[in-house]
């Protein structure tokens, strides 16, 4: 158990370099959401992850949160989310949608945290890659995958 605690501690030690935060704030997606992010540089994710860590620590649940279990939990909760759309194009209940979405996101936060990853950074980094994979000239109004583009 002590070894496990030490390993988790190492993951928590990974910190976000300040230049990465500057890059994050310069990104168009961050700029678009700026009005909602006035209070601090990192308005939401730190509060969320701190709350998740606190709950898990108080209940000694981290022992169950291996990478494999967290990845499986994301898929399981995604199935519950998908069930809301069974037989229809829209969610059966917005209240249930909120709950299942929160379950999926919670496990995503926990998995990212386990590997010392910043959720905002990895999403924005992937979007940057996707912008390059899907140039506007080839992808506007199209649902084609990048490897289906006509050259
Ligand atoms: Mg659920």
The pLDDT value recorded for residue 64 is 97
Q: What's the CATH code of the domain at 96?
A: 1.10.287.1080
The residue range of the domain holding 100 is 2-13+42-139
Does residue 78 belong to any structural domain of this protein? Answer: yes
Q: What is the DSSP letter of 141?
A: T
Residue 100 Cα to ligand 1 midpoint, Å, equals 5
Identify the CA nearest to 123 among candidates 45, 52, 43.
45
Tell how far the Cα of 55 is from the centroid of ligand 1, in angstroms.
Answer: 17
Task: Name the nearest CA neighbour of 13 among 114, 116, 108, 111.
Answer: 116
What is the structure's pLDDT at 77? Answer: 98
Give pTM, 2 decimals.
0.69
Nearest to 123 by CA among 40, 12, 29: 29
* 27 found inside a domain: no
- 99 CA distance to ligand 1 middle (Å): 7
Ligand 1 center to 81 CA (angstroms): 7
In a domain, 103, yes or no: yes
Domain annotation covers residue 80: yes
pLDDT in tens, 21-74: 566 566 665 565 554 444 444 545 689 999 999 999 999 999 999 999 999 999
Which one is predicted more confidently, 81 or 15?
Answer: 81
The confidence score (pLDDT) of residue 151 equals 73
Supply the pLDDT for residue 38: 43
CB neighbours (10 Å) of residue 16? 16
Q: pLDDT tier at 150 (50, 70, 90 boundaries)?
A: confident
**pLDDT, tens digit, 9 for 90 and up, residues 70-96:** 999 999 999 999 999 999 999 989 999
Structurally, how many domains does the chain consist of? 1
């Amino acid at each position: 158990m002590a070894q496990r605690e030490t390993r988790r501690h190492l993951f928590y030690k990974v910190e976000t370099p300040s230049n990465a935060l500057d890059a994050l704030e310069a990104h168009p997606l961050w700029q678009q959401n700026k009005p909602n992010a006035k209070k601090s540089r990192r308005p939401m994710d730190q509060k969320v992850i701190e709350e998740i860590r606190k709950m898990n620590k108080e209940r000694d649940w981290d022992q169950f949160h291996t990478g494999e279990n967290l990845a499986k939990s994301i898929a399981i909760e995604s199935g519950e989310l998908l069930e809301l759309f069974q037989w229809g194009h829209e969610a059966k209940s917005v209240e249930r949608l909120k709950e299942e979405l929160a379950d999926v996101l919670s496990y995503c936060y926990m998995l990212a945290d386990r590997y010392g990853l910043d959720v905002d950074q990895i999403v924005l980094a992937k979007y940057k890659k996707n912008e390059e994979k899907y140039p506007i000239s080839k992808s506007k109004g199209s649902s084609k995958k990048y490897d289906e583009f006509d050259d």
